A and B are shown apart, each in its own frame.
Chain A
Amino acid sequence: MIEHSLQAMAAALANKEISSVELTQLYLERIARHNSQLNAYITVDPARSLAQADAADARLARGEGGPLTGIPIAHKDIFCASGWLTTCGSKMLSNFVSPYDAAVIARFHAAGAVMLGKTNMDEFAMGSSNETSFYGPVHNPWDDSRVPGGSSGGSAASVAARLAPAATGTDTGGSIRQPAALCNLTGMKPTYGVISRYGMIAFASSLDQAGPLGRSAADCAILLNAMAGFDERDSTSLDRPAEDFSREINATSTAKPLAGLKIGLPEEFFAGGCSPEVMQLVEAAIGEYRQLGAETVSIRLPSMGLSVAAYYVIAPAEASSNLARFDGVRYGYRAPDYQDLNDMYCKSRAQGFGDEVKRRILIGTYVLSHGYYDAYYLQAQRIRRLIANDFASAFQKCDVIIGPTSPSTAFQLGEKAADPVQMYLSDIYTIAVNLAGLPGISIPCGFAGGLPAGLQLIGDYFTEARLLNIAHRYQQANAWHLQRPGGFD
């Protein structure tokens, strides 16, 4: 059952081969058995999950089930869920039981999905290795001495080890795609504004976007169908007609399903900076795409080299503003001893935030401070426009852009933890996509030294259905995405 696609799981539930309670129990048992090795979950609440499964079974019995009714889903601990501890990987929120549901949680609930638990993550989603979590690092199921990627590392590790059929994540600079690459999963960041940010704890609001992490593009399309939609409570949510993101995947296939597709290969992605083993797998994947009928064209993204610099101004600036709300007054951690109000703020924040979060708040506070705003924040936003313009020109010449997701396979725990700049550079291929607000997806494309590598596909705005189909056709032609790590029986 744990290797069933979401569609096959839904069919098994509909045919009464298995009940939602049994399916949920199966995953809860797997979590109980294997989570101590991975540290993928922060919170599991079997009684709550099983009560939801029970309700899903009743709904299925009434014949009112949908594609996700009764299927357990793990949620990144950045999504507020009513009655659930919602920590965002931080000591600051280690006592925060949310009084309300995030839009994403409410949408899964409305679809009848079961909430399997809350997954570990880098503190406030700031990290690329899941090592900044107050709850300790997550281990990569492919090699537990290595990182799973981040910030959605717990979500990725849980799905990779089959401790969840699928999971949610968020992606501000690569936090869905990079862990997907490092854990052999399919992970998508949709166009900015497609999924509501309501109740998703804010890091950098102009970049943050939720998305699915699954075992295939077809699964991700089903998850995205549940997650996407306009929400008036998110001021940047886009009011667009509903669409079925599975529609191209479900269309009939031919021998050359991607005939006529133009794949853009940015010179900047192939100019070094990527490990040769990963690049070899990416090149092989591009060859497979040609077999499927696609043609390739060389393109340029000249401002792409500035994306990390612009990102490390914009993201910390927005974070310093967003995280000002954690003051020890209305919720979250308050220091036990202090002299006055100001001391209470300073001590609560010093004790409640970890080092990486503090570092980013300080950078953000600095770049927004008097006299530096134009030189840093505005300059970064102008560079952001240049990067978006680069993509716009590129999409005049191609339908989709392909390259590596991450410059290397999973690195060792501790390898980059003491060197923030090295850690930041592990997102060089993903960050530009967030700055431009485009949709991107990472799919498994093979193994180097026993560790998975990811292929990144970037589409123009609102081409999620097409991107998912381009990923799906590749997954129909090989079995990389079906490989799972040993040792989690």
Chain B
Amino acid sequence: MIPYMASSFNNLGDFLPMSLTLEQVRRVAHLARIEISDVEARSTLGQLNEIFGLIEEMQAVDTQGIEPMAHAQDVAQRLRADVVSESDQLAQRAAFQAIAPETEAGLYLVPKVIE
């Protein structure tokens, strides 16, 4: 998973996005860790605004007292015992790391993060 920094969730701007700004598109792209050029950000802005135009229909609906729905059957999350369930773990690791871009001695390699 990409480690989002909690602080980066703040300061997207305070106004409701009937229309987004170019700066907001850049910030969201940064949060999503997707490199975006100025040209792409401009064309994306227009498309996102059209889509948000569609989404905004929701805001007119009074949903006071309505419970949000996440699963059709409203089932509770099942739990399991916190124990190792896989056998042959070294072979499993080798199989899963065989498709990684770069590994060494059972570890995934990434560019240096601490100087």
A 7-46 binary contact with B (CB < 8 Å = 1; else 0):
0000000000000000000000000000000000000000
Digitize A460-489: 1 where CB-to-B-CB distance is under 8 Å, 0 elsewhere: 010000000000000000000000000000
Among candidates B10, B12, B72, B78, residue contacting A388 with C-beta atoms closer than 8 Å: B72
Instruction: Say yes or no for B90: interface residue by CB 8 A criterion.
Output: no
Tell me, in angstroms, the Cα distance from A276 to B68 when the chains sit together: 36
Q: In the complex, which residues 319-371 of chain A have their Cβ closer than 8 Å to any Cβ of chain B?
A: 320, 324-325, 327-332, 334, 338-347, 349-350, 353, 358-359, 361-363, 365-367, 369-371
Q: Which of B16, B34, B80 has the most CB of A within 10 A?
A: B34
Could you list some 19 contacts between A and B, CB below 8 A?
Answer: A99-B98, A193-B75, A303-B61, A308-B54, A309-B58, A313-B55, A324-B2, A327-B1, A330-B96, A334-B101, A342-B33, A344-B111, A349-B33, A350-B34, A362-B28, A370-B10, A383-B58, A388-B69, A437-B73
Query: For residue A325, which residue of chain B has the nearest CB?
Result: B1
Report the minimum CB–CB distance from A448 to chain B (whole Å): 27
Given A238-B73, A369-B12, A385-B67, the answer on whether A346 and B34 have CB atoms closer than 8 Å is yes
Q: How distant is the Cα of A339 from the Cα of B33 in the complex, in angstroms? A: 14
Whether A359 and B48, one on each chain, are in contact in the complex, defined by CB atoms closer than 8 angstroms, is yes
Give residues 23-67 of B contacting A (CB, 8 Å).
24-25, 28-36, 44, 47-48, 50-59, 61, 63, 66-67
Among A324, A349, A362, the one with the most B-chain Cβ atoms within 10 Å of its Cβ is A362
Q: Is B110 an interface residue (CB 8 A)?
A: yes
The answer on a CB contact under 8 Å between A309 and B75 is no
Interface presence of B83 (CB below 8 A): no
Using a Cβ–Cβ cut-off of 8 Å, how many residues does chain A contribute to the interface with B? 74
- B72 to chain A: which residues have CB within 8 Å? 191-193, 388, 436-438, 461
Of residues 362 to 393 in A, which have CB atoms within 8 Å of B's CB atoms?
Answer: 362-363, 365-367, 369-372, 375-376, 378-386, 388
Lowest 9 A-B CB distances belong to which pairs? A437-B72, A381-B68, A382-B63, A350-B35, A346-B35, A385-B69, A334-B101, A370-B9, A345-B33
Q: Complex: how many Å from CA A371 to CA B100?
A: 37
A385 to B71, CA, bound (A): 10
Q: Who on chain B is nearest to A356 by CB?
A: B47
Chain A residues near B55 (CB, 8 Å)? Answer: 309, 312-313, 367, 376
Q: How many angstroms from the CA of A97 to the CA of B34 in the assembled complex?
A: 24
Contact B32 A329 (CB under 8 A): no
Would you give the shortest CB distance from B80 to chain A, in whole angstroms?
7
Q: A376-B55, A379-B63 are in contact. Are A238 and B75 (CB under 8 A)?
A: yes
Query: A292 interface residue, CB < 8 Å from B?
Result: no
Interface set of A (CB-CB < 8 Å, partner B)? 95-97, 99, 191-193, 206, 232, 235-236, 238, 303, 305-306, 308-310, 312-313, 320, 324-325, 327-332, 334, 338-347, 349-350, 353, 358-359, 361-363, 365-367, 369-372, 375-376, 378-386, 388, 420-421, 424, 436-438, 461
Q: Are A421 and B66 touching (Cβ within 8 A)? A: no
- In the complex, which residues of chain B have a beta carbon less than 8 angstroms from the beta carbon of A365? 28, 31-32
Residue from the list A99, A341, A345 in contact with B99, Cβ < 8 A = A99
Partner of B17, one of A320, A328, A366: A366
Chain B residue at smallest Cβ distance from A388: B69
Please tell me if B105 contacts chain A, counting CB pairs below 8 Å: no
Contacts of A343 in B (CB 8 A): 35
A342: which B residues are within 8 A, CB to CB?
33
Residues of B within 8 A of A206 (CB): 70-71
Give every chain B residue within 8 A of A367 (Cβ-Cβ). Answer: 55
**How many angstroms from the CA of A328 to the CA of B56 in the assembled complex?**
34
